[in-house]
Amino acid sequence: MKLRTRTQLGAVIAALFVGAVATAQSAGDGASDGAGNPVELEAQQDVNLTPAEQSARADQYLGEMERTGSMIRKQLQEARQARDVVKVLCLDDKLNQIDVALRSFKDRQASLKTAVERGDTDRARHEFSVLGVLRDRGQSLAAEANQCVGEEAAFIGDTEVELTIDPGIVDTDPSEYPDDPLISPPPVVSSPTS
C-alpha cells in the first residue's frame, strides 16, 4: 500500500473513533441512570454549600453515624445473647472502628464550627470534606457489620460413617510396571582440541 493510502486510512479510523466517543457521551448536564432519569450527585451538591450549610449538614452526618453505632451496638448485644463468639468478635471490631470514627468526626466538626465562626471558608471546606470521608467510612462500617456472620450450627453427637464398596471393583492391582527403567549411559568425556 502506498504511504498516501495508509495515511488516509489512518485518518478515517481516527475520525470514526473520535465520533464514536463523542456520541457515547451524554448531552445532559447532570448524571443519569440507564433509563435517562437524572441522578443527584451529593458530593457535587456539597461543594456548593455555604459554610453555615456545611455545619448544618455535618450535624445530620453526626446523627447518621450515631445511629449506625447504635445499630451495631444492638447487633452486638443480640450476638452476645446468642453466645455467637464469631459474630461477637466481628461486631465488636466494627463497633470499635465506628467509635473511633465518631470521636474523629466530633473533633473535625468542632474544627468546622470554629472555621465557620472565623469566616475561613477554605478551612471550613477542608473540614467538611474530611467529615464526608468519615461519614462514608461509617456507612461502609455499617455495611460490613451487616455482613458479619456467626458460627454455623454445629451438630453435637456421635458421627456415623457408612462405607459402601462396589462389588464390581477388582481386588488385585492390575497395573504392570516395566521390568527395568531405561537408563542411558553418561556421555563420553572429550576434549575440544582433540
**Predicted confidence (pLDDT) per residue in 43-89, tens digit:** 445 667 888 899 999 999 999 999 999 999 999 999 999 999 999 99
Q: Which helix (H) or strand (E) holds 32?
A: strand 31-32
Distance CA 72, CA 88 (A): 11
Does the residue 72 lie in any domain?
A: yes
Q: Does the pLDDT at position 174 exceed 50?
A: yes
pLDDT beyond 60 at 32: no
pLDDT attached to residue 160:
84
pTM: 0.56
The grid cell for 39 is: 441522578
Q: Is 15 a domain residue?
A: no
Query: Is residue 46 in a domain?
Result: no
In a domain, 85, yes or no: yes
Number of separate domains in the chain: 1
Please indicate, yes or no, if residue 162 is contained in any of the structural domains.
no
Tell me which residue range forms the domain holding 99. 51-147
Confidence at residue 124, expressed as pLDDT on a 0 to 100 scale? 92
Give exposure, 109-145, as e/b (b: 16+ Cβ within 10 Å). bebbbebbeeeeeebbbebbebbbebbebbeebbebb
In a domain, residue 100? The reply is yes
- Local confidence band at 15 (pLDDT 50, 70, 90 cut-offs): low
138 inside domain: yes
Residue 4 lies in a domain: no
